[in-house]
């Protein structure tokens, strides 16, 4: 299993908007994978955190928050798609 990590920053003040973007990315990836007729699954797992720029939190705090949310999405994907983790 291969993994890549990315951190991006942007303006988003809504959990619903962030989750809708993740949903759109998953749908687009599923369409692309289907069109490629791959014999193996390709998935993405995304996490996010919404914060006030004036916060005194450190970058690692944001990463940990986003990582926790990412694993929640990952677990839902495995349950929904009945993936077998290796």
**Segment 70-82 mean pLDDT:** 78
pLDDT at res. 83: 60
With 90 as the cut, is the pLDDT of residue 82 above it? no
Q: How far apart are CA 5 and CA 13, in angstroms?
A: 23
Give the domain ranges of the chain. 15-81
pLDDT band at 13 (very low <50, low <70, confident <90, very high): confident
Other CB atoms within 10 A of residue 77 CB: 15
- The distance from CA 42 to its chain's CA centroid, rounded to whole angstroms, is 13
Distance of CA 27 to the CA centre of its chain: 12
Instruction: Give tens-digit pLDDT for 14-61.
Output: 889 988 988 898 899 989 989 998 888 787 888 888 888 788 889 899
Question: Is 49 within 8 Å of 72 (Cβ atoms)?
Answer: no
pLDDT at 81: 67
């Amino acid at each position: 299993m291969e993994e890549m990590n990315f951190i991006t920053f942007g303006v988003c003040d809504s959990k619903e908007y962030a989750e809708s973007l993740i949903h759109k990315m998953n749908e687009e990836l599923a369409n692309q994978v289907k069109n490629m007729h791959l014999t193996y699954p390709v998935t993405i797992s995304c996490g996010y955190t919404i914060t006030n720029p004036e916060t005194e939190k450190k970058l690692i705090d944001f990463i940990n928050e986003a990582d926790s949310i990412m694993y929640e999405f990952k677990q839902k994907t495995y349950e929904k798609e009945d993936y077998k983790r290796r």
